[in-house]
Amino acid sequence: MKLPRRQFLHLAAGTAALPAVPHFAFAQAYPTRPVRLIVPVGPAGATDITARLVGQWLSERLGQQFIIENRPGAGTNIGTEAVVRAPADGYMLLMVGPSNAINATLYDKLNFNFLRDIAPVAPIVRFPYIMMVNPAVPAKTLPEFIAYTKANPGKISMASPGIGSTPHVNGELFKVMTGINMVHVPYRSAAAVMTDLLSGQVQLYFGTTASSLEYVRTGKLRALAVTIERRLDALPDIPAVAEFVPGYEASGWFGVGAPSNTPVEIIDKLNKEIDAGVADPKMKARLADLGGIALTGSPSDFGKLIVEETEKWGKVVKFAGVKAD
């Protein structure tokens, strides 16, 4: 039987649209089972705390449990690769942070391309770092510290929780921009760094506000500066590095990513809910208590941030000759 041309085109158009209907319905119903949010570092740090705040919010809003799963190792690469290899269905997500941007250049060979294989979903928070020293260091201010270090090259030990970690590259950027010479001492964890910094075994550390504020407020460590472009409300008397080293900026930032090719409807749904959580006064106050600055934005906004950070830290890693273990 031969169909009239108009009826044939109508049926063809309807047939072409059929796959989109269940796909859209699937996205509308998402999630229908628990979702795993992979944290590619160990528990208790800023990444883990942020993930648990967001996971609880999403569980309450979307009616399914968002399970926080810590998969540390290889500088976040183990957890990241697990998400890269996961089905692109929204049921395994990744806590994304600056290590992902740094590792793109730090490691010569990775089994994935982060910018290609992880789709940005939503930003959550930005954490400034505090440049702080053991009180035995004679410098009381940042200009005094720069002058002291230039007069005593190699005398200051700069600690970090590992080669290529965010505190490490923060320090390398500071060295590049000031021309000073400090000895890098890598540790296996931030907790180990703090132990030796407090005892005076090492002199300098770029610590997150979440882990450092209490030590600074009690005088156990001396804050010289904060690493974002302006002063912190929590430490109004402590200058920004940029006040003395124009253009310096370094911060930790966290957000959520998903395997590439995850349906855009699912990404947009997660983005909408995460943005609502970050804007919620209670969560915003909790992030502020940790020294964080809430971030909101579209998936493309978050993607732009990731690209910019990847390019920035790639230049620092190459210039400083930083190599992964």
Q: Are residues 176 and 239 in the same domain?
A: yes
Q: Cα separation of 74 and 71, whole Å?
A: 10
Instruction: Classify residue 11: in a domain, yes or no.
Output: no
State pTM to two decimals: 0.86
Number of H helices, E strands in the chain: 13, 10
- Please write the tens of the pLDDT for every residue from 19-50: 544 555 656 789 999 999 999 988 877 889 89
Cross-strand partners of 67: 36
What is the sign of the dihedral through the CA atoms of 66, 67, 70 and 74? negative
* Number of structural domains found in the chain: 2
Query: How many residues comprise the chain?
Result: 325
Token pair of 37 as six digits:
């949010």
- Please write the tens of the pLDDT for every residue from 160-197: 999 999 999 999 999 999 999 999 999 988 889 999 99
Among 243, 272, 290, identify where a domain stops: 243
Widest pairwise Cα distance in the chain = 95
Token pair of 206 as six digits:
């770029």
Alpha helix (H) ranges present in 134-263? 142-151, 166-178, 190-199, 209-217
Q: Are residues 155 and 196 in the same domain?
A: yes
Among 243, 276, 311, identify where a domain stops: 243
| Confidence tier at 323 by pLDDT (50, 70, 90) | confident
Domain containing residue 134: 128-243
Q: Cα separation of 30 and 236, whole Å?
A: 44
Among 243, 260, 289, identify where a domain stops: 243
